Structure 1
């Protein structure tokens, strides 16, 4: 369960900034023990949001977003065919 200290970040940038603030607070040693658990819950939610966005970008870069079935192979085949036709004509 996430704490109610701050609204959950909606963008990668906001989530990353939240993680940075939490890390700084925990590393400073100034965080009250009663605040550590809510901070860790916030960090988990922010980390999940960052990871979600990173995985979405990876999927796009891997070509998983191309649902039209066009892998680009047809274009390469057409180019090779055109080249072969030209070679045959000479």
Structure 2
């Protein structure tokens, strides 16, 4: 991975996926331990910018989800319904003959 500077405004247009892949790439390069010391600071700057993009996208998604419905409400109800269905079906197992 080269230590290139992103064009101005790139942080606003870069997708979550691209930023996440950039973070993974930078992490792998730094973990390998073969990175030239002169490239470490630019890589860390790029990683910080990519992290900010990911964090902003996640925060925006959380805010949007919080506006539409309380988190987990629908899932908790579905889980309760399926648990009741399993309890009702358990009595049918007593009729099996071997």
TM-score after normalising by structure 1: 0.63
Distance in 1, matches of 2:5 and 2:21, equals 12
Gaps of 5+ in 1: 65-90
- The ranges of structure 1 where at least 4 consecutive aligned residues each deviate by more than 4 angstroms after the TM superposition are none
Q: How does 1:11-90 map to 2 (within 5 A)?
A: 11-63=15-67
Match of 1:5 in 2: 4
Unaligned 5+ segments in structure 2 are 69-98
Q: Distance in 1 between matches of 2:5 and 2:62?
A: 28
Cα distance in 2 for partners of 1:54, 1:14 equals: 14
Give the number of the structure whose residues are more often helix, by fraction. 2
Q: Take 1:25 and 1:52, find their aligned partners in 2: how far apart are those partners?
A: 24
CA distance in 2, matches of 1:18, 1:33: 19
Report the aligned-residue RMSD. Answer: 1.7
3-state SS of 2:49 partner? helix
How many residues end up aligned between the 2 structures? Answer: 61
How far apart, in 1, do the equivalents of 2:55 and 2:22 lie? 14
